[in-house]
Chains A and B, each alone.
Chain A
Amino acid sequence: MNKTVRVSYFAILREQRGLANEQVSTTASSAAVLYEELRARHGFTLPGSRVRVAINDEFQAWDSPVRDGDSLSFLPPVAGG
Chain B
Amino acid sequence: MVFRITDSPIDPAALLPGLSDTRAGACATFEGRVRAQNDGKGVSSLDYEAYAPLAEKEGDRILSEARDKFHILDAVCVHRTGSLKLGDLAVWIGVISEHRGAAFEACRYIIDESKARVPIWKKEHYADGSTEWINCATRGPGAGGPSPANG
Binding site for B on A (CB under 8 A): 8, 10-12, 14-15, 45-47, 50, 52, 54, 57-59, 73, 75-81
Contacts and interface: CB of A to CB of B under 8 A. Distances in A.
B72 interface: no
Interface in B45-76: 48-51, 53-55, 57-58
Contact of A80 (B115, B123, B133): B115
Given A11-B49, A78-B135, A80-B48, 17 more contacts: A10-B119, A12-B121, A54-B51, A54-B54, A54-B119, A57-B53, A57-B57, A59-B54, A76-B133, A77-B146, A78-B119, A79-B120, A79-B122, A79-B133, A80-B115, A80-B120, A81-B149
Interface of B: 32, 48-51, 53-55, 57-58, 79, 90-91, 111, 114-123, 133-136, 138, 145-146, 149, 151
A50 B49 contact: no
A10 B48 CA distance: 11
B114 to A, nearest CB: 6
A76 B137 CA distance: 10
B51 A81 contact: no
B48 to A, nearest CB: 7
Contacts of B48: 80
A36 B149 CA distance: 29
Contact of A10 (B49, B53, B91, B145): B49
Contact of B135 (A45, A54, A59, A77): A77
A46 B111 CA distance: 26
A48 to B, nearest CB: 12
A73 B57 CA distance: 15
Which A-B residue pairs are the 3 nearest by beta carbons?
Answer: A80-B120, A11-B121, A81-B151
A8 B55 CA distance: 14
B138 A79 contact: no
